[in-house]
Amino acid sequence: MRTIRILARYATDGPPPRAVTEQGLCRKMADPDAWHPVREYRQDPTTTAALETCRACPVATACLDYAVARPWISGIWGATTTRQRRTLRAAAAAQRDAA
């Protein structure tokens, strides 16, 4: 299952920056599926634990940049859920439109 999800993540684009793939804390976690929850509700303990791990991750900024730039990818990246990144993109677009 993990391999399929990893391949799916990279199928439509190049892989994340090398620092993310080599230094991301999620690489060492026992349950990588936690970063791909069926539902990304923050109240879910598994999702909350994954988000907390991301907040302590040394490459969270690069990870978030990668995911924000790719609206087609889902799951938890850079301490954000898919929905939160959608909100970030919308806010950035609104800011660009206002400028």
Q: Write out the residues near ligand SF4 by the rule CB under 6 A.
A: 20, 24-26, 35, 53-54, 57, 59-60, 63, 76-79
Closest separation in Å from C-beta 31 to ligand SF4 = 12
Closest separation in Å from C-beta 59 to ligand SF4 = 5
**Crossing angle of the two packed helices 82-98 and 60-68, in degrees rounded to 10:** 70
d(CA 50, CA 25): 10
Closest separation in Å from C-beta 13 to ligand SF4 = 15
Closest CA to 32 of 53, 18, 17, 14: 53
